[in-house]
Amino acid sequence: MLQAFFQRLLHFIAYFAPGGEHMRPLMHRLRGVKMGENVWIGPYVWIDAKYPHLVSIGNNVSVGLRTSIIAHLRGQGVKVVIEDDVFIGPHVVILPDVTIGRGAVIRAGSVVTRSVPAGMMWGSPAAEPIAHVTVPLAAGNTYEEFIAGMRPIRKRRPAAATAPPTEEKDPAEVQ
């Protein structure tokens, strides 16, 4: 019971504390979150209170303002893995049993319900791949380099189900 209280206290401090590069990551590490180097955690980030040890965050990761990382819904928790060089925008919800691949970018406001492949931009409105990421939006790269390295995914148009409309002639012209 004392350990649970200590965990909740650290979570509370991490949630409100300043210091996205040092203080908040340190509090989450003390709670049991596995975390690499050069991790930035925005303010008001909620990382699973009951199973923080099931959350793994790689190196050079940015987690945006008010993001929630959930490792359980009911009963036993399951792993949530965020690999290296990932950028998570603000107000993102990451659900249990998800892996976010290396170099992926998650757009603001997205709900991540399934694993995201490495090097993909993922997000709303349909939470689907948007572009291939060739330059990670991580420390050591500028925003301009990231944008220049984006390779949008072109969607194919579905084949027409019916024949194209034919031109109707004016009855007066037919004569």
The full DSSP string for 18-76 is S-TTTHHHHHHHHHT-EE-SS-EE-TT-EE-SS-GGGEEE-SS-EE-TT-EE-S-SSSS
Among candidates 58, 65, 59, 60, which has minimal Cα distance to 41?
65
* HSE-CB of 80 using CA atoms within 13 angstroms: 24
State the Cα–Cα distance between residues 111 and 131, nearest whole angstrom: 17
Q: Phi and psi (nearest 5°) for 144?
A: -65, -40
Which residue is listed with tokens 């490792």?
Answer: 71
The residues that are catalytic are 53
